Structure 1
Amino acid sequence: MNLAKTLVIGNSGSGKSWLAERLAVLQGGTWIDLDLFNWESGGYDLARKREDVIAMARAAADAERWVIEGIYGWIVSEILPAATALVWLGIDESECVANVQRRGMRRGASAQSFESLLEWAKTYRSRSGSSSYSAHAAIFHTFTRDKVRLTTTDQVTAFARDAARPHRVEHGR
């Protein structure tokens, strides 16, 4: 896979940040968490203006090497043409919720926003909108370059391990 410009999508708690950070280090690129673009600094209570988020994402995607990760299908769709690879983490919701609980609150989240995040992670396959399972599936199925869908934590770990090898193992599509 050509991982020079990789998008990692999936549910909250699926391991996007964990994988993206490792891939960015391996590729010598920048790791970008779309939460930092979508939310004003200081927490998860105030979203930035849509046009500002898109401008930030497009500017990041202009770089030579990057790994951009996030749940926001509407942002990903704006930079998808620049990507050389797409990794979709379709991890079961119960595992995602457990991962969010394990990592705890971060980036100034309040107890209320943390509870909302847990509820959000539970509804990945049932909710609608650009951050849903069905929206991510549509992004994945229309992407024509290198792509892989990983559905277990073991697969995510193996993918990261294989990416670190000099001759990467190809994963199924």
Structure 2
Amino acid sequence: MSNYYLHSMNLTRTLIIGNSGSGKSWLAKRLAEHLQAPWIDLDLIHWISDEHSIARPRAEALGMARVAASKNRWVIEGVYGWMVSELVEQATALIWLCLEDEDCVSYIRQREAKREHDELLIALLEWASSYRTREESSGFAAHQRLFQGFSGSKLQLMNRDEVTAFVSTMQQID
């Protein structure tokens, strides 16, 4: 990734997609700070209660996501392809964190070390490890279709080093 390419990207309204544990929130927070734009985590829209895995009704979640995407500037991140596909028309950039499933699982284990025997954590680890084989809108194939079909500025980052390099390069361009 060259500084020139990064400099030419229109990051005004950036969508970040990828597997659970790929670093979407970490990247989104830093990019939003850099752009001085709001950071919207689709987990907070999708789940009424993350603690109890209670999902918000789909139409309500889509409405909330559309309101967030109607603003002039934002960084929106999430795994939910069904929501992202509704917002992609407003996006100026799409970043796909396409890390290996094992790396995502490892990161979740590190991040959630205190929740070792938690049933929700075990389910999340299983879900993250199935990213490449999941057929629904939050899986690899659906994210790949979103990425390939996107006509704006786009970037695919394949590992933590590339994500870190992107952030470092972004911080140098001011």
Superposed pair shares fold, TM > 0.5: yes
CA distance in structure 1 between the aligned counterparts of 2:49 and 2:135, rounded to whole angstroms: 26
CA distance in structure 2 between the aligned counterparts of 1:74 and 1:166, rounded to whole angstroms: 33
Please give the per-residue CA displacement for 1:97-122, whole angstroms capped at 9, x wherever unaligned. 0100111079x9x9111100000010
Q: Does residue 1:23 correspond to 2:23, yes or no?
A: no
Alignment counterpart, residue 133 of structure 1, candidates 133, 140, 144: 140
Q: CA deviation at 1:129?
A: 0.4
Matches within 5 A, 1:105-116: 111-116=118-123
CA distance in structure 2 between the aligned counterparts of 1:159 and 1:125, rounded to whole angstroms: 24
Larger helix proportion of the pair: 2
Unaligned runs of 5+ in 2: 1-8
CA distance in structure 2 between the aligned counterparts of 1:74 and 1:42, rounded to whole angstroms: 19
Please give the per-residue CA displacement for 1:21-47, whole angstroms capped at 9, x wherever unaligned. 000000000111100000003525110
CA distance in structure 1 between the aligned counterparts of 2:26 and 2:165, rounded to whole angstroms: 13
Q: Does residue 1:162 correspond to 2:155, yes or no?
A: no
Partner of 1:146: 153
Q: Indicate conservation of the 8 Å contact 2:12/2:92, yes or no.
A: yes
Q: Indicate conservation of the 8 Å contact 1:105/1:114, yes or no.
A: no
Q: Indicate conservation of the 8 Å contact 1:10/1:16, yes or no.
A: yes
- One-letter amino acid of the structure 1 residue matched with residue 28 of structure 2: A
Q: 1:42 to 1:144 in 2, by over 3 A?
A: closer
Q: Indicate conservation of the 8 Å contact 2:17/2:79, yes or no.
A: yes
CA distance in structure 2 between the aligned counterparts of 1:105 and 1:81, rounded to whole angstroms: 38
- Percent identity, aligned pairs only, is 47
Partner of 1:79: 87
Q: 1:11 to 1:152 in 2, by over 3 A?
A: same
Task: Say which SS state the counterpart of residue 133 (structure 2) adopts.
Answer: coil
TM superposition outliers: structure 1 runs of 4+ over 6 Å: none
TM-score w.r.t. the length of structure 2 is 0.91
CA distance in structure 2 between the aligned counterparts of 1:52 and 1:43, rounded to whole angstroms: 19
Alignment counterpart, residue 97 of structure 2, candidates 86, 89, 93: 89
Task: Say which SS state the counterpart of residue 114 (structure 1) adopts.
Answer: helix
Q: Indicate conservation of the 8 Å contact 2:49/2:55, yes or no.
A: no
Matches within 5 A, 1:26-105: 26-104=34-112
Unaligned runs of 5+ in 1: 168-173
